């Protein structure tokens, strides 16, 4: 990747410049604006390019002959200037995905020759200017995935040529105006995921004779199920999306849409579907009826309905209890989702008459009890997780690429047949977690081309097998935690260059720190908790070692010596996660969700999904000694830091005050001395602080989060004084934000009318200003404040009687 050369500006006679998808990065040079004869400029899809300064304004000012301007997926990070209206010759304007913000300028209405306008995937806000709806030549309009608000104008004077209209994923409100149904050329209408309301005029829908795609999902529209609407026809309609539209019965007008290929009625309140509702859908390929609870799939023996092209059927979360004739007679089905229902019973050889062409089948979260036979000979993805399946594990069909059967009651060993080359070489995702499987792991299992291997929470024992003898990027997630593996860690893991997650917690692995894992370029999560790892962690001279690591858990082992200062310098993955997109680790895998158990804030949590912006270090319960390095303060993205139960000495470094995202700090049960640094009061997100059982002295800092910590944060430090411990420093008063009644009331602005209700593991305290829910463990400071407030209310009540 390289920057665009400024020498382009010397090509003053150039009329067409297209360097799209060429891997350029950096600032777009001002010299581009010198090409005054350009008719077409395409810089799109160079994801490293950015506009800075006034370069774009100069392009708009100087390139007045432009007809085509393609700048999609280039970072502009600014408002779209009014001067864009000066490009009066423009026919195509594509600024999608440019991180543009602010209002859409009304001056766009000056571009009377415009045929294609794409402003999608930006941050535009405010209403859509009326001028946008008055283009007479416009054929394509995409304003989707912005923050646009307001309603549509009641009348427009243009858009007669418009064929594509995409306004989905905004905050548009009000009714769908009648002029939508007068656009004679409209082929695609996408209005989903807005706040549109009122009656949708089905009587006029048939006037859109060319309409092929209609999406109205996730709005508050009505009038979809009226009986009088049963005869409307849209001969060209191939895709209809009415998800989350509060529909209570199968819409009559849908029955006559003979050309439908895609129908989405999910997340509604439809309770019954019958085979005769689909008699005219001979071309239907995708049908989504999921999340209609409860949904009864009729078994009408008089109607033998086979949809010859139906390939995708989604009926998840519909409270279905059995496989109906409608399901088992669809011979062309390739993708079937029946997850989160109440389907019971056994899968036996008698079921060999259905699903012969299935490629993806999801039966997870049901009540299946036994698996004796696989009738699906072409299956590639098979998800049977979270059922009640008992007995030995049955190896999946040879075609299987993803086999997920976690959270069942399987026992016995992994069958040897799973290691036959024709049976298992293609298994990329293998999830056998949360069962009662046992035995040693065959060497062949580690040498298969897995992307995910999850064997956690079983009873496997013996040595961990080798993983790949040659370097490759195949294995990405390896979960072996909560078993009985022993021996040393196989060094062949260093060949797994694509490894992102390695979890070996709660086994009996006996080894020294695997420093050679530091060469893995993508490793984000390393969990070695509760094993027999021992010895010192040697310093590393390689600055790239563990540079991508975000979560490190070495707790409950036998590590000794000094804390690894050089590694703290290397942990770049914990230093700046603010710019990382907030997603989940493993989110690109549709059927597998990565979860992690972690001690956080004094309680062991199961993180059902792990955010890409989450960073944590837990080195507690070892034998580390020496001081806490100042370099820990550079790990500014840390949420959790636990160094408790070691033999650490010296002062608490003031640099810990730089950990602005820190939520939990535990340094308890060490030999730390000196005063608590006042810089720790800058940790505005700190919820849990444990400095107990050390040798700290002096005044406990006050202010912000420190006013919320009670005595249990400091117990065992006999020379500490000031709130909240009982020992006074002779000049410290309790923090006014907690103890002064009038200041407390005014500071929180609460009326202190409250009720207490039992709620799960904690209490719910309801105030006139809102509510506070406490689960897992009740913060003592908050309980104390509420009790004080209650006492004041009681005193005032008695006083006024």
| pLDDT confidence of residue 329 | 79
For residue 76, the cross-strand partners are none
Residues 218-269: pLDDT tens digits?
Answer: 999 887 755 455 566 788 999 999 999 888 888 888 888 889 999 999 999 9
Token duo for residue 3: 């920057």
Token duo for residue 397: 């069909």
Cα dihedral 651, 653, 657, 662, rounded to 10, equals -90
In-domain check, residue 204? no
Residue that is last in its domain, among 721, 755, 786: 721
| pLDDT confidence of residue 368 | 92
Residue that is last in its domain, among 680, 705, 721: 721
| pLDDT confidence of residue 797 | 36
In-domain check, residue 370? no
Residues 478-534: pLDDT tens digits?
Answer: 999 999 999 999 999 999 999 999 999 999 999 999 999 999 999 999 999 999 999
In-domain check, residue 609? yes
| pLDDT confidence of residue 230 | 54
Does an H or E element contain 204, and which? helix 202-205
DSSP character for 79?
Answer: B
In-domain check, residue 667? yes
| pLDDT confidence of residue 41 | 93
Q: 582-590 contacts: CB < 8 A, separation 24 or more?
A: 582/611, 582/612, 582/613, 583/611, 583/612, 584/609, 584/610, 584/611, 584/612, 585/500, 585/501, 585/524, 585/525, 585/609, 585/610, 585/611, 585/612, 586/477, 586/500, 586/501, 586/610, 589/429, 589/452
Low-confidence ranges of the chain (pLDDT < 50): 227, 424, 732, 736-801
How many domains are there within the chain?
2
Token duo for residue 602: 């004094």
Write out the residue range of the structural domain in which residue 51 sits.
1-124
Q: d(Cα 687, Cα 709) in Å, to the nearest integer? A: 9
Residues 185-195: pLDDT tens digits?
Answer: 999 999 999 99
In-domain check, residue 592? yes
CATH number of the domain to which 674 belongs = 3.80.10.10
| pLDDT confidence of residue 437 | 97
Are residues 611 and 595 in contact, defined by beta-carbon separation less than 8 angstroms?
no
Residue that is last in its domain, among 105, 124, 143: 124
DSSP character for 606?
Answer: E
| pLDDT confidence of residue 422 | 58
In-domain check, residue 134? no
Are residues 141 and 108 in contact, defined by beta-carbon separation less than 8 angstroms?
no
Token duo for residue 57: 């304004």
| Of 685, 678, 691, the residue nearest 642 (C-alpha) | 691
| pLDDT confidence of residue 747 | 33
In-domain check, residue 165? no
Instruction: Residue 16: count other Cβ atoms within 10 Å of its Cβ.
Output: 12
In-domain check, residue 502? no
| pLDDT confidence of residue 40 | 95
């Amino acid at each position: 990747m390289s920057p665009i050369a400024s020498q382009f500006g010397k090509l003053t006679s150039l009329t067409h410049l297209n360097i799209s998808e060429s891997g350029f990065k950096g600032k777009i040079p001002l010299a581009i604006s010198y090409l005054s004869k350009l008719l077409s400029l395409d810089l799109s899809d160079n994801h490293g390019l950015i506009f800075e300064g006034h370069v774009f304004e100069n392009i708009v000012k100087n390139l007045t002959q432009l007809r085509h301007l393609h700048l999609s997926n280039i970072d502009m990070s600014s408002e779209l200037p009014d001067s864009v209206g000066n490009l009066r010759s423009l026919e195509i304007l594509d600024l999608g995905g440019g991180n543009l913000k602010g209002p859409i300028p009304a001056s766009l209405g000056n571009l009377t020759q415009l045929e294609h306008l794409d402003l999608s995937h930006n941050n535009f806000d405010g209403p859509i200017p009326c001028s946008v709806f008055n283009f007479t030549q416009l054929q394509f309009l995409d304003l989707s995935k912005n923050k646009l608000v307001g309603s549509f104008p009641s009348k427009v004077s243009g858009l007669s040529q418009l064929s594509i209209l995409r306004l989905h994923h905004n905050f548009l409100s009000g009714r769908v105006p009648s002029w939508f149904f007068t656009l004679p050329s409209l082929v695609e209408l996408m209005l989903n995921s807005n706040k549109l309301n009122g009656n949708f005029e089905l009587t006029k829908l048939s006037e859109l004779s060319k309409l092929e795609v209609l999406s109205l999902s996730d709005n508050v529209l009505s009038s979809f199920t009226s009986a009088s609407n049963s005869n409307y026809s849209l001969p060209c309609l191939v895709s209809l999306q009415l998800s989350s539209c509060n529909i209570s019965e199968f819409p009559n007008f849908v029955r006559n849409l003979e050309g439908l290929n895609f129908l989405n009625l999910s997340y509604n309140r439809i309770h019954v579907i019958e085979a005769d509702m689909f008699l005219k859908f001979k071309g239907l390929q995708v049908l989504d009826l999921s999340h209609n609870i409860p949904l009864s799939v009729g078994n009408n023996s008089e109607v033998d309905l086979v949809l010859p092209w139906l390939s995708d059927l989604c009926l998840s979360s519909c409270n279905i209890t059995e496989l109906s004739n409608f399901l088992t007679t669809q011979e062309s089905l390739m993708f079937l989702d029946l997850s989160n229902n109440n389907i019971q019973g056994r899968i036996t050889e008698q079921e060999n008459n259905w699903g012969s062409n299935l490629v993806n089948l999801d039966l997870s979260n049901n009540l299946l009890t036994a698996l004796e036979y696989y009738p699906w000979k072409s299956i590639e993805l098979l998800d049977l997780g979270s059922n009640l399946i008992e007995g030995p594990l049955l190896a999946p069909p040879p075609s299987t690429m993803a086999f997920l059967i976690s959270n069942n009651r399987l026992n016995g060993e992994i069958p040897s047949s799973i290691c036959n080359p024709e049976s298992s070489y293609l298994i990329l995702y293998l999830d056998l977690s949360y069962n009662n499987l046992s035995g040693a792991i065959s060497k062949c299992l580690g040498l298969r081309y897995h992307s995910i291997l999850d064997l956690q929470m079983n009873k496997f024992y013996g040595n961990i097998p080798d993983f790949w003898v040659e370097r490759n990027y195949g294995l990405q997630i390896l979960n072996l935690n909560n078993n009985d593996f022993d021996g040393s860690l196989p060094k062949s893991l260093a060949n797994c260059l694509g490894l992102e997650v390695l979890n070996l917690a709660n086994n009996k692995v006996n080894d020294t720190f695997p420093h050679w894992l530091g060469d893995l370029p993508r490793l984000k999560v390393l969990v070695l908790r509760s094993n027999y790892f021992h010895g010192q962690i040697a310093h590393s001279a390689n600055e790239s070692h563990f540079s991508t690591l975000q979560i490190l858990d070495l707790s409950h082992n036998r590590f000794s010596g000094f804390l690894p200062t050089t590694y703290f310098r290397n942990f770049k993955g914990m230093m700046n996660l603010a710019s990382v997109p907030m997603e989940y680790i493993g989110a690109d895998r549709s059927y597998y969700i990565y979860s992690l158990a972690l001690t956080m804030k004094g309680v062991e949590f199961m993180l059902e999904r792990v955010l890409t912006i989450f960073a944590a270090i837990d080195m507690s319960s070892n034998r580390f000694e020496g001081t806490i390095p100042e370099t820990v303060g550079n790990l500014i993205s840390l949420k959790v830091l636990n160094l408790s139960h070691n033999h650490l000495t010296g002062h608490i470094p003031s640099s810990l005050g730089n950990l602005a995202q820190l939520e939990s700090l535990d340094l308890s049960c060490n030999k730390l001395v000196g005063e608590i640094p006042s810089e720790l009061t800058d940790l505005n997100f700190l919820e849990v602080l444990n400095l107990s059982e050390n040798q700290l002295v002096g005044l406990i800092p006050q202010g912000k989060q420190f006013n919320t910590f009670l005595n249990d944060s400091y117990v065992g430090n006999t020379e500490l004084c000031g709130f909240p411990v009982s020992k006074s420093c002779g000049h410290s008063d309790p923090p006014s934000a907690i103890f002064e009644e009038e200041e407390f009331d005014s500071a929180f602005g609460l009326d202190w009318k409250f009720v207490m209700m039992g709620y799960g593991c904690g209490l719910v305290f309801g105030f006139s200003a809102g509510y506070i829910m406490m689960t897992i463990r009740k913060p003592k400071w908050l309980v104390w404040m509420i009790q004080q407030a209650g006492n004041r209310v009681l005193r005032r009540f008695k006083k006024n009687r």
